[in-house]
């Protein structure tokens, strides 16, 4: 169990071991829920962080291609033996 001290301004520091394990970074938003008996539960929002991170990492990755995104996908599907019309027909 970890102990946390509250500062004169009401601030707390989450121990580094917990921050690392939960991948809590500066600017992350945590939810706080009060329960009966004076219990406080702090929850992370991992799902939103993951989605935001994926989008940020892939933004502009295909911007310098000599073909459109649609052509690129068709070429990948053709090369793997899968045809676009077959995939659309299975819907």
Sequence ranges of the domains in the chain: 1-44
Could you tell me the fold of the domain covering 1-44? Pemi-like Protein 1; Chain: D (2.10.260)
Which pLDDT score, from 0 to 100, does residue 11 have?
Answer: 94
Residue 64 has pLDDT above 70, yes or no: yes
- Per residue in 8-56, pLDDT (tens digit) is 999 999 999 999 998 888 888 899 999 999 999 999 875 554 556 666 7
Summarize pLDDT for 69-88 with one digit per residue, the tens.
788 888 777 766 655 566 66
Helix (H, G, I), strand (E, B) or coil at 83: coil
**pTM, full prediction:** 0.46
Residue 69: phi, psi to the nearest 5? -60, -40
What pLDDT is attached to residue 53? 67
Q: Higher-confidence residue: 59 or 26?
A: 26
């Amino acid at each position: 169990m970890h102990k946390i001290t509250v500062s004169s301004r009401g601030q707390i520091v989450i121990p580094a071991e917990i921050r690392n394990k939960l991948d809590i970074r500066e600017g992350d938003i945590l939810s706080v829920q009060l329960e009966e008996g004076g219990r406080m539960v702090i929850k992370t929002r991992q799902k939103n962080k993951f989605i935001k991170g994926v989008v940020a990492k892939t933004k502009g990755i295909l911007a310098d291609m000599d073909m459109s995104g649609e052509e690129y996908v068709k070429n990948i599907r053709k090369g793997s033996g899968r045809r676009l019309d077959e995939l659309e027909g299975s819907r």
